Chain A
Amino acid sequence: MKIAVCIKQVPDSWAQKKMGADQRLDRESVDAVLNDLDEYAIESALALVEANSPTGEVGEGSGHSITVISMGPERASEALRKALSMGADDAILINDPGLAGSDALATSKVLAQAITAGGYDLVLCGTESTDARMSVIPAMLAERLGFAQLTFAGKVGVSGRTMTITRQTEFGVEEMSADLPAVISVVEKINEPRYPSFKGIMASKKKPLVTQTLSDLGISPSDVGSSAAWSAVKDSLPRPPRGAGIKIVDDGSAGSQLVAFLAERKLV
């Protein structure tokens, strides 16, 4: 398997996010971290290779490779380094001033181009980024690449070139399968991502991290970025904070007081 894991650097989940004057998320004012839902995809890639490697380890002797790919500004290389320290083999940062303001369509176009150029046959993703929360990139990648789509996997297995996943949907528990090439997104129940070891952190410093630009990928700047974003934010307003709610300490009658509150709001 030649695996690509698509990851994103996002504002820390606990950070107070706000919109900038340009109607985009103000990323400068908040701490940036590796999207935690992508850690499960990195761990899945590592586990898949370890289970199918003659040495039981990732890396050169495994017969497989894991490349982490991110589109983002220079500092997104921190997220890529974290993935390398967990055990991925190499990393690609797609960084170009022309990418600013890209929507999901453009992001998927750029990632798909990098995946095609690298000749990967398995793409792993988290289910969504914790900032934009659209949850469309894995499906868009499958559509653009013509790869099989196996999303929301709670379990992933491989036998030869056939991938099998188990997932929970509104229809029930589904088992799905497809031959490579495939795009798989994994849910957070699938595993417990490993912490980078000291050895892993040291090794990551020597692992290749290359930067690609739009021209490296043969993409015209007019096809991406804010001018090619097919949706636009007209305006944004901070929502008035919820009025301070009522808070009572139970003295034995809290249940009855709550029923009265619900009745007043016509909820019972």
Chain B
Amino acid sequence: MSTVLILVDSVGGKVSKSTAELATFGKRIGDVVAVICSSDSAAILPQLNTLSIDKTITCTGVDFEKFSTGAVAAALASVVAKESPAAVLIASSARGKEIAGRLAVRIDSGVITDAIDLDSEIIATQSIFGGSTTVHSIVTHGTPIITMRGNSIEAIAGSGPAGAEDFALTYTDGDRAAVLSLAPAKKSGRPELTEASIIVSGGKGTDGNFTPVEELADALGAAVGASRAATDAGWYPHSFQVGQTGKTVSPQLYIAAGISGAIQHRAGMQTSKTIVAINKDPEAPIFDVADFGVVGDLFAVLPQVRDGVIAKKS
């Protein structure tokens, strides 16, 4: 039976949903070995007990929080040498892709990013050109390194690891960049943008008033997103921006309110399963990708939707 390495993804000691998704993809190929490169391993380990993971390897001896992705790539390269896995799966975040790129250089192996599906033969599916083309790709040399986009699979639960190992490492070379300070992101109480199954996004059309967007999001248990026009105006933090230079999201439902649908915005949300658009302008390009479009004023439509959703629930 072959093994697959997955890199455990966590923020502030909380394991992200993408880790369970990586484990689910990994299980299609072989035994799943979860690699922890974080000083929060004590908090992380118990959270892996319900995932389909066969073993954990905790890398120790390196201050992973202080250094950027070079240290993680170096640690993974050592684990690859030890375990000879059939593939390495990493979450397709900005950080995950950097780790994948550095690891590919280190172990001279092919890398595929932003995969939305992966089969037992390690054939990856990607959606490119703003979702207009689907490609199937394979790695032809070395250990396949594949980053998987969040929300691409329904994670299945498992019985957790049967074994846990520590792997002592030293990291001396390469990456000398150090984090001087970190102001942790404020918790909003809403789901993470990249993990959410529903997202309600607001744009320039909100005119700075995100209240109807947030109220609908809360009724739906959704995350809030924003267009660049809204983040540039300072109405919402940049970390909530969806699009080419923001987050790439792929929820079950994406509701765009007061967003025109520029190509750069669509690049980040076009693979959402169902897209709803609310816009005053009947010609807005967002309607070209919407499954349900409302030509209307978001300040009238969103509260009505919120009330309808709340009524359905009670």
Near B by CB (< 8 A), chain A positions 225-268 give 229-239, 242-243, 245-250, 252, 254-259, 261-263, 265, 267-268
**B238: contacting residue among A37, A189, A238, CB under 8 A:** A189
B100 contacts A17, C-beta separation under 8 Å: no
A171 contacts B12, C-beta separation under 8 Å: yes
A249 contacts B282, C-beta separation under 8 Å: yes
| Any B CB within 8 A of the CB of A58 | no
| Any B CB within 8 A of the CB of A51 | no
| Any B CB within 8 A of the CB of A47 | no
B291 contacts A245, C-beta separation under 8 Å: yes
Interface of A is mostly: mixed
Binds B, one of A69-77, A80-88, A162-170, A201-209: A162-170
A242 contacts B289, C-beta separation under 8 Å: yes
The answer for the CA separation of A252 and B303 in the assembled complex, in Å, is 12
| Any B CB within 8 A of the CB of A21 | no
The answer for the CA separation of A246 and B180 in the assembled complex, in Å, is 51
Of the listed residues B69, B94, B142, B301, the one surrounded by the most CB atoms of chain A closer than 10 A to its CB is B94
State whether A263 and B312 are in contact (beta carbons under 8 Å apart), knowing that A143-B174, A175-B180, A239-B133 are contacts in the complex.
Answer: yes
Q: Which residue of A has the minimal Cβ distance to B102?
A: A143
Binds B, one of A91-99, A115-123, A177-185, A211-219: A177-185
| Any B CB within 8 A of the CB of A146 | yes
Give the chain B neighbours of A16 by CB distance below 8 A. Answer: 132
Near A by CB (< 8 A), chain B positions 67-113 give 68-70, 73, 93-95, 97-102, 104-106, 108-113
A172 contacts B182, C-beta separation under 8 Å: yes
Q: How far is the CB of B208 from chain A (nearest CB, A)?
A: 18
| Any B CB within 8 A of the CB of A187 | yes
B287 contacts A259, C-beta separation under 8 Å: no
Q: How far is the CB of B161 from chain A (nearest CB, A)?
A: 25
**A261: contacting residue among B97, B292, B300, CB under 8 A:** B292
A135 contacts B312, C-beta separation under 8 Å: no
Near A by CB (< 8 A), chain B positions 251-309 give 252-253, 263-264, 267, 274-276, 282, 287, 289-297, 300-305, 307-309
5 interchain residue pairs of minimum CB distance: A255-B304, A250-B296, A230-B110, A136-B101, A259-B308
Interface residues of A (CB under 8 A from B): 13-14, 16-19, 23, 37, 103-105, 108, 127, 130, 133-140, 142-144, 146, 148-152, 154, 164, 168-179, 182, 187-189, 229-239, 242-243, 245-250, 252, 254-259, 261-263, 265, 267-268
Given contacts A37-B245, A148-B176, A172-B183, 19 further A-B contacts (CB under 8 A): A13-B264, A16-B132, A17-B133, A135-B97, A136-B113, A149-B177, A170-B185, A170-B239, A171-B11, A176-B68, A189-B232, A232-B140, A237-B133, A239-B133, A242-B291, A252-B300, A254-B296, A258-B276, A259-B312
A-B contact pairs, 25 of them (CB 8 A): A105-B105, A136-B98, A136-B104, A139-B97, A139-B98, A139-B99, A143-B101, A143-B106, A171-B185, A174-B182, A175-B182, A178-B177, A232-B137, A239-B131, A243-B291, A246-B292, A247-B287, A247-B290, A250-B301, A254-B301, A255-B302, A255-B308, A267-B253, A268-B312, A268-B313
